Amino acid sequence: MKDLLTGKVVVISGGSQGLGAGVARSAAREGAAAVVVTGRRVEPGKQLEAELTAQGVSALFVQTDVADPEQAIAAVEAAVTAFGRVDCLVNAAGLTDRGTLVDTTPELFDRHVAINLRGPFFTMQAAVKDMQRRGARGSIVNVISVAELGGQPYLAPYVAAKAGLAGLTRNAAHAHRWDRIRINGLDIGWTETEGEDLTQRRFHGAGDDWLDKANASVPMGKLGQVDEIADFVAFLLSDRSGVVTGSVLDWDQTVPGGSD
C-alpha cells in the first residue's frame, strides 16, 4: 500500500530512535503532512528532524521525558501549535530495565509505571482532547509488548506497566469510539534495535555475537525488524485498517498458550 497517511499530522512519543524513529520514517513515506517526534535525547531527535525535512516532510523534534506528565502533555500541545492539530498518535517510548518481583526497588517500579503507563496515558489525554475540540476523527497506536501476557521473571515491573497499558488501550478505545477515535495496541516481541543491543550487553553480558545467536533461536530465523513493525503501525493508524478499535494485536513469532 502507498500514501496511507496522506495529509495527516502524526505525533510519535519516543520517536527519536529505535521503533519510534522507524514509525516516523514510515509515516513520512506514507505521505504524512507533518511528523512530530519526541524523546529525551536531543542529538538523535534533531538528526531525525533534519533527515525528514530533507525529504520534504514537515518535521519537528520536541525534547520530552514522558515520565513527566506536564512534558508529555506539552509535547502534544507543541504539535498542535506548530501544525494546527494531531490526527495520529503513536506511543513508542519505553523502559526495559530489568527487575524481578523480589529485587525490584520502589524507585525502579515507579520509573516503569511513569514511562510505560503514565506517559502514554497523558499523551493520549492531550491528543484526544485536541481531536474532541475539533470534532475530528483520529487514530492512536500504543506500542505494548507480548510480555504483558506474562513475560520473563526479570521483567516484573515492565510487565506490570505494559499490562496496564493494554487495559488502558481497551478502556480508552471503548470510551471514545463514538468520538470516532480509534485506539489500538501492538504487542510486539523480541525486536532488533540499538536499544536492545545495549540491553543485552548491560543486563545479560552479551557479546558481539548475541544477535546471531538470537536470530538462530527463533522460528523465523530473525528477530522482529523495525521497518516491518513500523509499516504495520502505519497501517493501523490509517483509514485502511477500517473500523478496528480496542484491539491489542500480537506481532511476534511466538504463540501465546502454545506448548511443545
Given a cut of 90, whether residue 198 has pLDDT beyond it is: no
- Mean pLDDT over 211-216 rounds to 91
- Mean pLDDT over 2-30 rounds to 95
Is 158 part of the annotated catalytic residue set?
A: yes
Give pLDDT tens digits for 77-96.
999 999 999 999 999 999 99
* Topology of the domain comprising 9-251: Rossmann fold (3.40.50)
Cβ distance 59 to 53 under 8 Å?
yes
pLDDT bin (cut points 50, 70, 90) of residue 35 is very high
Given a cut of 70, whether residue 1 has pLDDT beyond it is: no
**Bridge partners, residue 224, by sequence:** 191
- pLDDT at position 234 is 98
DSSP 75-138: HHHHHHHHHS---EEEE-------B-TTT--HHHHHHHHIIIIIHHHHHHHHHHHHHHHHT--E
Can you tell me whether residue 61 is helix, strand or coil?
A: strand
- Mean pLDDT over 165-180 rounds to 98
- pLDDT at position 50 is 97
**Catalytic choice (83, 121, 122, 158):** 158
Q: Which of 42-51, 97-106, 127-136, 203-212 has the lowest mean pLDDT?
A: 203-212
Give pLDDT tens digits for 132-156.
999 999 999 999 999 999 999 999 9
Here the cell at position 249 is: 494485536
